């Protein structure tokens, strides 16, 4: 068993907030893997690369270091730069590519070597840590996820409407769940939680309860 609680699910389902609070409650380290894919997209855009065709050696050339909640790219701390609609969309595009996924795999596995973690992403329970101690797949209706996204400044462009955000979420869901490698889907042994109408506290308690903590 890996010392990992895997939290997977689609965009806007509340994974980050739930995973962060759960980690605090259990005293585990919180790791957000979406930020790694966003950082690759950010670096690629900055270098003027075609996001659909990231060269194999490009990701290997990036120095990505995760320290707790912080992510450093070649020594630069990245945070707000990654929480933009451009990086979200770019991450979804670069993450389809095998070279990108395999380059980030070891980095993610390394995170569990230092002790217990709560790791959130799309394929943590299926690919990164198939032997995780606990696996949860968090989802919610597209409308509820769009409402949550609209409530997060930075994640949507100014003047975005509910309909536009819903369309963007559907596009991202489709791309994430139909890609050939590591598609977004619950692991067979994951507990699926539909958080529509649930509060963050209720979701965190449900997970902690299922873990027996
Ligand atoms: O969780 P997020 O919205 O920051 O993720 C951005 C994109 O990165 C998401 O659309 C798909 C990709 N991703 C992935 O393929 N695998 C992960 N473990 C995490 C994110």
What residue spans define the domains of the chain? 2-207
Ligand 1 atom at minimum distance from 124 CA: 18
Task: Report the relative pairing of strands 117-121 and 70-73 from DSSP bridges.
Answer: unpaired
- The residue behind tokens 């369309």 is 167
2 phi, psi to nearest 5 deg: -80, 150
**Distance from Cα 194 to the centre of ligand 1, integer Å:** 19
pLDDT computed for residue 12 by the predictor: 87
**Distance from Cα 120 to the centre of ligand 1, integer Å:** 9
- Nearest residue (by CA) to ligand 1, atom 1, is 34
CATH fold of 2-207:
Rossmann fold (3.40.50)
Q: What angle do CA 101, 113, 16 make, to 5 degrees?
A: 60
Give mean pLDDT in consecutive 10-residue pieces for the chain, a chain of 213 residues.
Answer: 95 93 96 96 98 94 88 95 93 95 94 94 97 97 94 80 94 93 95 95 97 92
Q: Is 114 exposed, middle or buried (0-12, 13-18, 19+ CB in 10 A)?
A: exposed
Read off the DSSP letter of residue 120. Answer: E
pLDDT computed for residue 114 by the predictor: 85
């Amino acid at each position: 068993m890996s010392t990992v609680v895997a939290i997977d699910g689609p965009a806007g389902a509340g994974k980050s907030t739930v995973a962060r609070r759960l980690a605090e409650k259990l005293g585990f380290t919180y790791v957000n893997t979406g930020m790694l894919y966003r950082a690759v997209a950010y670096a690629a855009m900055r270098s003027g690369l075609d996001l659909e065709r990231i060269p194999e050696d490009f990701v290997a050339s990036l120095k990505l270091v995760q320290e707790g909640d912080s992510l450093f790219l070649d020594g630069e701390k990245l945070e707000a730069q990654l929480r933009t609609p451009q990086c979200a969309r770019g991450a979804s595009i670069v993450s389809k590519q095998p070279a990108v996924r395999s380059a980030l795999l070891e980095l993610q596995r390394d995170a569990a070597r230092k002790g217990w973690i709560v790791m959130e992403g799309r394929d943590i329970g299926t690919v990164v840590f198939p032997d995780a101690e606990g696996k949860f797949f968090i989802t919610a209706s597209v409308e509820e996820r769009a409402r949550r996204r609209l409530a997060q400044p930075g994640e949507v462009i100014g003047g975005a409407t509910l309909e536009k955000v819903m369309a963007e979420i559907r596009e991202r869901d489709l791309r994430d769940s139909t890609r050939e490698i590591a598609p977004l889907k619950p692991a067979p042994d994951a507990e699926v939680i539909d958080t529509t109408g649930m509060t963050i506290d209720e979701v965190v308690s449900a997970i902690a309860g299922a873990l027996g903590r």
